[in-house]
Structure 1
Amino acid sequence: MLLPLPAGDFRAYLFDCDGTIADSMPVHHVAWQRALGEWGGELSEELFYAWGGRPVVDIIADLNRLQGLRMPVEAVAARREVLFQELLPTVGAVPGVLEHVEDAHRRIPSAVVSGSTRESVTASLTALGLLDRFDVLVCAGDYARPKPDPAAFLLAAELLGVDPRSCLVFEDTDLGIEAATAAGMAAVRVPPPWER
């Protein structure tokens, strides 16, 4: 099922990675549960999806506060990434988005704009055989403020040399949609796994 696009003459496509290109959110949740469990923490599926798009370190810090824990933030983040990488071969592409990625290739400049690390994004796109489909990757560490701040999307537009108002964003989280709107960009909402 191809996702319907809004009307407009779009000159660039900007894709979030996890949950948008890569159907990786269920696997990310498993990695989170295993990593947090090693330190006595937990992250419900409901909260995991509600916090989608937030930086990993912020999630761990908030879980420490909410659950009265002292999990080592950097160690838990690193362990979660290792566990995710181990599970990565089980991840496929999101139906409906993959067709737009392939259709845009060599026709419309495209970027990945993610709150995940460059290592994680590159690993996901490589596992899916899609790394070469994107002209630009904008990942955690490339911009100062996370989504819903528009900085990441504005940086991608600048790197692609396209006016932000001519960009179409593909996103699966509320924070991502808010960031696209704040950047003056049109957006396509990618439905979560249970709605596909």
Structure 2
Amino acid sequence: MMLPLPEGEFDAYLFDCDGTIADSMPVHHQAWLRALEEYGAEFGEELFYAWGGRTPASVIADLNARQGLTMPADAVNERRERFFEELLPGVRAVPEVLEHIEAAYGKVPFAVVSGSGRESVTASLKALGLLDRFDVMVCAEDYVNGKPDPECFLTAAKLLNVAPERCVVFEDTDFGMQAAAAAGMAAVRVPPPWQRHSSKIN
């Protein structure tokens, strides 16, 4: 079933990637666990989803601080990316979001706005056959302050030359929804995997 849009007219659609376009959050969690294993770091599922939308560098920094570790951010993130790419063939698009992409493609410009790196986002969209749908990509390398700061969404709106209040954001995380609100944008909340999957079973 297509997710309802907020009231109003919109000149651009801004999509988070992981958990929004791509049903990839469970795969990302597996990749994180494998990357952190050699350092003895813990990253439980509840915390992983609570921190959804944050940049990998900020996640590693906070895990270090919480657990008294000194994991090298670049090395851990490279390992995580490698494991994610190995698991990527199993990822599918979120059907409720794919419906919006297919319905509005060619009518309004699209942007991907992600806390993940460009390499990871590009790999996900290529695997889903959706890379050519997006006019703009704003990834972790393209801004300083991660979600819930609005910088990433405001950057996308500027690149698309669309006023923030004329953008609608598709997001699956609390941080992402807070960032959209701070940017003055309407937003669509994408349900988490367990809600979407359970509704199909019942």
- TM above 0.5, yes or no, is yes
5 Å matches for 1:118-129? 118-129=118-129
Aligned equivalent of 1:104: 104
Q: Which residue of 2 aligns with 1:43?
A: 43
* CA-to-aligned-CA distance 1:38-78 (integer Å, 9 cap, x gap): 21111000000001111111111211221222222211111
**2:200 aligned residue:** none
Q: Post-superposition shift, 1:102?
A: 1.1
> Are 2:20 and 1:20 aligned?
yes
**Equivalent position of 2:7 in the other structure:** 7
Distance 2:60 2:143 in 1: 20
1:83 counterpart residue number: 83
- Residue 178 of structure 1 corresponds to 178
Structure 2 length as normaliser, TM-score? 0.95
Q: Is the 8 A contact 1:102 1:133 kept in 2?
A: no
Q: How far, CA to CA, are the matches of 1:125 and 1:90 in structure 2?
A: 13
Give 2:146's aligned residue: 146
Name the count of aligned residue pairs: 196
SS of residue paired to 1:141: helix
For 2:185 and 2:67, how far apart are their aligned partners in 1?
37
Structure 2: how far apart are the matches of 1:9 and 1:61?
40
- Following superposition, the deviation at residue 84 of structure 1 comes to 0.4
Residue in structure 1 matched with residue 199 of structure 2 by the alignment = none
CA distance in 1, matches of 2:7, 2:56: 34
State the TM-score, normalizing by the size of structure 1.
0.98
Amino acid at match of 1:121: V
| Higher alpha-carbon deviation: 99-108 or 125-134 | 99-108
Q: Which amino acid aligns with 2:140?
A: A
Which secondary structure state, in structure 1, belongs to the residue aligned with residue 184 of structure 2?
A: coil
Kept after mapping to 2: 8 A contact 1:111/1:156: yes
| Larger proportion of helix | 2
User: 2 CA distance for matches of 1:43 and 1:52?
Assistant: 12
> C-alpha offsets along residues 137-173 of structure 1, whole Å, 9 cap, x if unaligned?
1111111111111111111111111111010000001
Deviations 1:7-40 (A, max 9, x none): 1101110000000000000000000111111211
Mapped to 1, the partners of 2:177 and 2:119 lie a distance apart of: 24
Distance 1:160 1:69 in 2: 41
Can you give the 5+ residue segments of structure 1 that lack an aligned partner in the other structure?
Answer: none
Q: Which runs of 4+ in 1 moved over 3 A?
A: none
- Give the share of equivalent positions with the same residue, in percent: 71
Give 5+ residue unaligned stretches, structure 2.
197-202
